[in-house]
Amino acid sequence: MNIWLRRTLIAAVVLAAGAAGVWSALSRQPKLDAAATTIGANRLEVLQLADASGTEMPFSAWRGKLLVVNFWATWCPPCREEMPGFSRIAGRLRDRGVQFVGISIDSADNVRQYLQEEAIDYPLLIGGSDAIQISAELGNSAQGMPFTVIFAPDGSVVERKLGTYKEEELEAILLARLR
């Protein structure tokens, strides 16, 4: 076999294996473990995190609302990509009882810098490394980001997704829950 054909064949095999690995990682959604989700939801109810300015915000303040909690990081391109759409939805649905909250695994400094670049119309809280554990307790066994959980007004988990939401997709889910 000539060397050019051999190299092309090796490159094709490596490329196919890499593509299969990426597809597998992206298509893997964490299984919704009811017990873990209940534990995570209960913990969230008593959780209090600070925003980038240091103001403590208790999650119990949002009880009774359709709550969208998004775990993200400033260094995560898919997270940054979906947040402006989340902000637009938050503005449109706020008066209908929908509340968005972002929980960052970053430092307050990184989040403050991000907020100078992007106007986000909902609270961004600093979870630090604890945010990874909290997201795992809510069913994110892969511990990937972005990870979004939607809570019904009674505090139960009604939807969760590892990966990005398109603006129209998420808004349709929320509007269906408001009916």
pLDDT digits (tens, 9 = 90+) for 93-145: 999 999 999 999 999 999 999 999 999 999 999 998 889 999 998 999 898 99
Report which of residues 104 and 27 the model is more confident about.
104
d(CA 160, CA 134): 13
Residues 6+ apart with CB under 8 A from 168: none
Task: With cut-offs at 50, 70 and 90, classify the pLDDT of residue 29.
Answer: very low
Q: Which residue, 50, 47, 90, is CA-closest to 68?
A: 90
CB 133 within 8 A of CB 39: no
Q: How far is CA 10 from CA 4, 14, 16, in A?
A: 10, 6, 10
pTM (two decimals):
0.77
Task: With cut-offs at 50, 70 and 90, classify the pLDDT of residue 40.
Answer: low
